[in-house]
Chain A
Amino acid sequence: MTNVGFAMPWLLLAALSALIPWLASGQRPLRYSSLTVAPTDRVSTLIDRTVRLSASLGLIALVVAVAGPYRREQTVERLGFGAEIVLLIDRSSSMNESFVGRYLGGAARETKGAVAREILTDFVTRRKDDLFAVVAFSAAPIYVLPLTQDRGAVSAAVRSSTERGHGITNIGSGLAMALDFFEGRRKGGARIILLVSDGAARIEEETRERLHQGFSGTDARLYWIYLRNRTGVHLDAPPENPGESTTPEYFLHQFFQTLGSPYRAYEAENADALRRAVADIEALENDPLPYLEKIPRQDLSTYGYVAALVFLLPLLASRALEVDRWRF
């Protein structure tokens, strides 16, 4: 019975009131000339005990029901199809520009970040079986959410953003934090790091080494949704004047290909391309994933009320049949 809890357990003390029917008859006394001549009637005694007992139980049932009994939230392990996904979201300043071009109609709120948020929120709500974690990064990685099934929290984190980003893009440490979520965790389902950014920066040699180890150790896959400006660098075509400071995206793409784990990059120049990239990932990532389904806490007080009503009936009957004077 450890599965059952009470909203107000202290109210159970009132169950002591169950003693009252045993201490008081609940009946009006009648005078009788000589009780000693009346024989002991076993049926009457039985009826008396039954009425008292059921009144007593009725009081207990009422108290128990009012104390708010509930079955605790249960979790059941089920097997679904999905993945463990860490959303690694760039919050540096450039995310607030809009995609260049006619796609967005130029509305101010439809910045790259806003579009990405909207599409990701859809993605998160659609993927019922997946676990999500969120890491934001600019100069330093920010732990936003651990791997969780709390869908509401994930979309609250994806939707939230500052109107103006800040700082430099430090992808390396963001990736390292994302990998930390998988470190030392029982593997179930595909492990995905979904990097959403519109730019890149150089990753230091030391960090590169760490990332190599991290990716091979955790068996994580990397997807990079690169929100490209029209003027931005293409990932696959070598830029005209390559340099890690001027075209870091190209070099980052090269580096990701050396990680040894499945990696794919999507260049999204507009909302449609972004949608296609997300749909593509969705189609790819459906490995069996054991997940925990929550059976929400369930109110049990109705049983108490029904029981109380049933136990009150004998008392009602006896009181309805009670005589108030002797009639012979």
Chain B
Amino acid sequence: MTSGDRPFRWRLWLALLAAVLTAVAIAHPRVPFERNVFRYFFVIDITQSMNVRDYHVTGQPADRLGFVKQTLAEALFELPCGSEVGLGLFTTRNAELLFEPLEICEHLPIITDVLSHIDWRMAWAADSYIATGLYNALRQVGQRKPATRLVFLSDGQQTPDEAITPPFMGKAGEVKGVVVGVGGSQPMLVPKLDRENRQTGYWENADLTAPEDRTPTQQFEAQAIPETPPSGFYLSRLHEDHLKRLAASTGLDYLRLNSAEDLRHALRSDHYAEPQRVQVDLAPLLAGLAWLLLIASYWHTPRLRRPAVAR
């Protein structure tokens, strides 16, 4: 009996190969692999115009801030493990960062808890100078690890009005990210809420007084601004042009927040990704291959029962 006599026993060899692959899988061999992760700082506008209820999406909150929180929570869920997320708030001229970016999979429960507690009542002042706030957020994000992206969520509602947008002194595009426009384009009433979150009416123009902390230049400019009509309700809409201009001058992208899907999609864009080297376990791949080989080894074999009549 020589080996030349017998046909090639491929079923045996396939099974043997499958067994070898399985044995290797037990050792969990790992290879370095590059995958995309993200590091985001979300800065959320919490001024009172964010309480305007102009979203009409089933199953989502109607107010701008609520909508932001809900869609953001959904989008975070979709970020790959290894991504990091930090949260911050914006009112007046500053971004207040709550915590440094945290790895998303390990810390998701706490990140979503903090997100759900973000509230307009945390605002340390009621004014909002969008441009200054955005520049401030950009500067702070720029001081952090490279490849940290800024996501600035705001309705662009400036209170009080500024005739001249202050120029951006940083380098456009140095910090990547996206300005997310929140709200609808129809001017809407701004609910006036008390500290217990009960609505007591709507903001009227007469309620708004000129800010006391104007610099001499601003006071000078103020003379040039047509005064807000002192009567009637104070209305708020998404100032998309303003936000788009700001995004363009700072090298950020612009996205209008219409659905959680849009946000999810934008946040997973390769444009913001950072390659991260991870060790990938090859075991599932090897075992999957072993499984295929085993199945293949049954190819074209009869069921083998005792036939009723032998041929």
- Residue numbers of A with Cβ under 8 A of B are 14, 17, 20-21, 23-29, 32-36, 40, 55, 58-59, 62-63, 65-66, 68, 91, 136, 138-146, 148, 150, 152-153, 156-157, 159-164, 166-167, 301-302, 304-306, 308-309, 312-313, 315-316, 319-320, 322, 324-325
Contacts and interface: CB of A to CB of B under 8 A. Distances in A.
A58 B294 contact: yes
Contacts, number: 177
Q: Which 5 A-B pairs have the closest CB atoms?
A: A25-B304, A139-B124, A157-B99, A167-B124, A319-B12
Interface in B267-292: 283-284, 287-288, 290-291
Given A20-B295, A150-B110, A33 B310 contact: yes
25 contacts: A24-B303, A26-B298, A35-B310, A55-B294, A59-B294, A62-B22, A62-B294, A66-B284, A136-B98, A141-B122, A142-B98, A143-B118, A146-B110, A153-B110, A156-B100, A156-B102, A157-B98, A160-B97, A162-B94, A162-B95, A163-B143, A166-B94, A301-B283, A324-B9, A325-B6
Interface stretch (B13-21, B66-74, B196-204, B256-264): B13-21
Contacts of B124: 138-140, 166-167
Given A20-B295, A150-B107, A27 B15 contact: no
A188 B157 CA distance: 46
B26 interface: yes
Nearest to A65: B287
Contact of A143 (B18, B117, B302): B117
A153 B99 contact: yes
A11 to B, nearest CB: 9
B96 A91 contact: yes
B25 interface: yes
B113 interface: yes
B15 A153 contact: no
A140 B92 contact: no
Contacts of A304: 287
B303 A25 contact: yes
B7 interface: yes
B101 interface: yes
Interface string B88-114: 010011111111111100110111011
Contacts of B307: 35
B306 A305 contact: no
A14 B291 contact: yes
B123 A140 contact: yes
A123 to B, nearest CB: 17
Contact of B303 (A23, A146, A161, A316): A23
A316 B291 contact: no
A145 B12 contact: no
Contacts of B103: 152
Interface in B52-100: 86, 89, 92-100
Which of B102, B143, B287 is most buried by chain A, counting CB atoms within 10 A of its CB? B287
B106 A302 contact: no
B121 interface: yes
Given A62-B290, A68-B284, A143-B117, A160 B98 contact: yes
